[in-house]
Chain A
Amino acid sequence: MAVKFEKVADGDYLLDVTGYVCPHPQMYTKKVMGKLESGDVLTLLFDNPSSGESIIAMCDSDGNDLFERTEEGGTSQWKIRKA
């Protein structure tokens, strides 16, 4: 089990931090969002609920659009579009 980051298609990326607790999910998300281009979409997979609150606040602060949230079996799949 390791942090997984991959390009799925042009402008479409996946970051999988399932199995990791704070601060991994929010710090890796911050790092990845800093590298993406405007309009790129990140699909984020994580299963540490408290990280979600920080990621929402990060999106609010940076103006990124958290446009889809799916929760299943304790795992969250969120999609964020970079502003």
Chain B
Amino acid sequence: MSEQSNAITMDGPESLWYGHKGNLYAMLILGVVAIGSVWALSLDTRWIYLLVYVWFGVGYGVLLQYGRFCMASAVRDLFAVGVPRMAVGMLIAVVLFSLTAAIVKVMGVNTFHPHPIGWHVIIGGAIFGFGIVFTGGCASGSLYKSGEGNLGALLVVLSISFSQAIYVTLGGWFDRLVPASWTESAATKGMPEELTVTEGWFDQFTAGYIWDLKGTTLAESLEFEGEVAGAFVGNAFLGAILPSLVLLVYLYMFAYRKGYLRRYKIEMPKLGDHLRGIWSMVSSSRNTAIAGLGLGLLAGLHMWATGALRDHYQIFNFGELLADMGHTAGLSLQDTVFDPGYWYITTQEAQWGAWVMEKAGMMSRDNIFFGLENGIPNPIINAPGWMSIGIIFGAAVIALSRREFKWKVPNLETAMFALIGGALMGLGARLAMGCNIGAFFATVTNGDLSGWVFLAGMTLGGYLGVKGFSRWMEWRAGKDEFDI
């Protein structure tokens, strides 16, 4: 790379930070979020709980855009163009988050709950992985790209939101897809009658299948004695760091080694050459590596901050605070709302879709997902929802300051991919009980091996998606009559 130029003039007033409109808009966004935060706290200091989500969202957005950190490309670019950059960045983030999560665990404020493990994880991961190839971004990636002015990515977010809301409430013909054993098992769970858990495929999937499975962490299943050993050795090292190191070596061997040895004209490589090659792979994209480190750190701090606030307010769920503040309309039957306490994306988007549909008279709460567990809060007081909006804001801030913000209206092809791919991502996320963040990143870093199963499914889906996308590309290239 012998030359890099920037067409933006840097002489005169534009050389000052306020001389560029992008910087001013970026400051305006940060100012609005800051003033909004002060205003919320002036109304009631307990809104600090929601504001923690907002500001960590902004932080995630900044780092995601800075590092072009989209986990979709971790599997997609590996198969599509042979580039391991994002897979490496993702594994760096996993290693660091596992360590910060272990610290938070030892401090006694870790908010993580292990996910039940079963076939649903790999099937959901595969459907999700297939969808992300066509949308051009994972759930968090679509949010940060929305912050770059990409309206196609915003369409993906809308598709994920509404498709999930629809999936979890479908009944009638879809009930025929459910095994009788799930219906029978769901009926024995003693759920309130208004939830009608033996109607609706997702209720029966949840109560008749998921609730019969178990989730655990490696520290628990290996029966580590002592909190420190369990958190650092069981969960962090054995559950996250060791598998990440194995995968890094695998990526080097099969996706990086050949090009590295050719570039440095090494014909008879020794162990030292390979170690330098692995370091070259890890450090080849500085921005992605820095973003991975930052995200790992931030995700742990987020977990600590929410856990500390729960301790402070003596609550288990934000719904309790909302009820105390008189906001009961969006709460579930248990007076809860979705409040993971860490980085999570898809469930709050389902709540957005459900809220709009409820206002339009198209949504009922006779289901476990919304009625019993997550509620349908107004988006204004949906704390994790604000984390997602914070990601858009944070990404917009840094995209504007780097002169990379550009309104992009999708054409018919990208709009179609956004809607269909988003709907597949929504289905995969609901089956697997989360996306690449909730079902993978947050799980493997806390010693829950179900996340690696999700990654295996996502990788399989990504591989098939790339095959399908390549076919589409060949067809398009022929149709446009340009001979590549």
Contacts and interface: CB of A to CB of B under 8 A. Distances in A.
Nearest to B473: A27
A63 B264 CA distance: 11
Contacts of B469: 23, 27
B120 interface: no
B408 A19 contact: yes
Interface stretch (B67-75, B210-218, B244-252, B366-374): B67-75
Interface string A14-52: 000001111110111111100100000000000111101
A65 B403 contact: no
B314 interface: no
Nearest to A53: B68
A69 B152 CA distance: 25
B285 interface: yes
A6 B141 CA distance: 31
B304 interface: no
Given A27-B470, A50-B70, A58 B1 contact: no
B6 A53 contact: no
Nearest to A80: B1
Nearest to A13: B484
Contacts of A1: 411
| Size range of the chain B interface in the assembly | 35 or more
B77 interface: yes
B5 interface: yes
B80 A26 contact: yes
Contact of B85 (A6, A29, A31, A54): A54
B276 to A, nearest CB: 15
Given A49-B404, A53-B288, A54-B81, A31 B6 contact: no
A47 B406 contact: yes
Contacts of B399: 49
Interface in B1-43: 1-8
B85 A53 contact: yes
B472 to A, nearest CB: 10
Contacts of B404: 49, 71, 74
Interface of A (DSSP majority class): mixed
Contact of A66 (B1, B76, B86, B136): B1
Contact of B482 (A5, A58, A70): A5
B414 interface: yes
A8 interface: no
Among A53, A54, A56, A69, find the residue whose CB has the most chain B CB atoms closer than 10 A: A53
B150 interface: yes
B484 A31 contact: yes
A79 to B, nearest CB: 9
B263 interface: yes
Contact of B136 (A23, A63, A67, A72): A23
Contacts of A10: none
B327 interface: no
B284 interface: yes
B480 A2 contact: yes
A51 B441 CA distance: 23
Interface string B144-178: 01001110110000000000000000000000000
Among A5, A6, A49, A62, find the residue whose CB has the most chain B CB atoms closer than 10 A: A49
Contacts of B476: 3
B184 to A, nearest CB: 44
Nearest to A1: B411
B76 A60 contact: no
Interface in B250-300: 256, 259, 262-263, 284-285, 287-288
A61 B406 contact: no
B182 interface: no
A70 B6 CA distance: 5
A49 B85 contact: no
5 contacts: A23-B73, A54-B86, A57-B284, A67-B1, A67-B3
Given A23-B80, A56-B285, 6 more contacts: A3-B476, A23-B136, A26-B80, A27-B80, A52-B68, A71-B8
Interface of B: 1-8, 65, 68, 70, 72-73, 76-77, 80-86, 133, 136-137, 141, 145, 148-150, 152-153, 256, 259, 262-263, 284-285, 287-288, 399, 403-406, 408-411, 414, 466, 469-470, 473, 476-477, 480, 482, 484
> Ordered nearest first, which 9 A-B pairs have the shortest CB separation?
A74-B406, A21-B136, A72-B7, A61-B259, A50-B68, A22-B136, A57-B83, A69-B4, A5-B482
